[in-house]
Amino acid sequence: MDHDTIVEDWRRNSKSHDDENYEFLRSLKFRDYGFDPDELAAELHERAFQIVDCTRCANCCKTLQIKITDADAQWIAEHLNMTPDAFAEAYLAMDENGERKFRQQPCPFLGEDDRCQIYGVRPTDCREYPFTDKEGFVFRTKGHANRALTCPAVFWMIEEMRKRSLIRTRRKRKRRT
């Protein structure tokens, strides 16, 4: 599997697999597939990001509303040689929840080459995205299902988890017969 194959599979199938992927992710909370979801997610996260080159995709930068913390605003403003107030005025807006987000989409710091122009000081949400390597994978099922529509790596991870669950389920059935 390579980057282009994963991205193409995501483009072709992420929407049509959405409901099935969501139901599978929910089932991880109460069904034993013979693997620890956190351990498998961590393993697949590492593999996915060895294959998928985020800088060749940048879909998250093009489509997501990223929360900007006070610390994020401070670091980015310093990097741009701006005051935090000037940075906020130029780039940020408040959303309906009172959180600061970038005023425009795609991200104003996404270059024409789909590379982040502030990568070293990118916001915390960008650094941690897509959150698939965090403990408690099964408690973020809705978020992971939504991110599978945005991120080819997350889609690939969920599809791989589903494949493994099917293999183990079939093995259990064979042992019973």
Q: What is the pLDDT along the chain (177 residues), one digit of tens a residue?
A: 899 999 999 999 999 999 999 999 999 999 999 899 999 999 999 999 999 999 889 999 999 999 999 999 999 999 999 999 999 999 999 999 999 999 999 999 999 999 999 999 999 999 999 999 999 999 999 999 999 999 999 999 999 999 999 876 666 656 655
For position 176, what pLDDT does the model report?
59
Enumerate the H helices of 52-151 as residue ranges: 54-57, 59-63, 70-79, 84-91, 124-128, 141-148
- Residue 14 CA to residue 97 CA, distance in Å, equals 29
The residue type at 145: A
Other residues' Cβ atoms within 10 Å of the Cβ of residue 15: 11
For position 55, what pLDDT does the model report?
86
For position 166, what pLDDT does the model report?
84
Same domain, 72 and 56: no
Same domain, 115 and 141: no
Q: Is 140 helix (H, G, I), strand (E, B) or coil?
A: helix
For position 41, what pLDDT does the model report?
96
| Degrees, nearest 5: CA angle 127-16-36 | 55
Q: Specify the DSSP class assigned to residue 105.
A: S
Same domain, 86 and 114: yes
For position 109, what pLDDT does the model report?
97
Decide if 155 is inside a domain: yes
Same domain, 92 and 80: yes
Q: Is 87 helix (H, G, I), strand (E, B) or coil?
A: helix
For position 167, what pLDDT does the model report?
73
Say how many domains are in the chain.
2
Same domain, 70 and 119: yes
> Could you list the residue range(s) of the whole structural domain that residue 54 is in?
3-29+36-61+131-169
Other residues' Cβ atoms within 10 Å of the Cβ of residue 106: 15
For position 170, what pLDDT does the model report?
61
- Residue 38 CA to residue 24 CA, distance in Å, equals 15
| Degrees, nearest 5: CA angle 46-37-48 | 20
Question: What's the count of helices (H) and strands (E) in the chain, helices before strands?
Answer: 10, 2
Same domain, 42 and 69: no
Q: Specify the DSSP class assigned to residue 30.
A: T
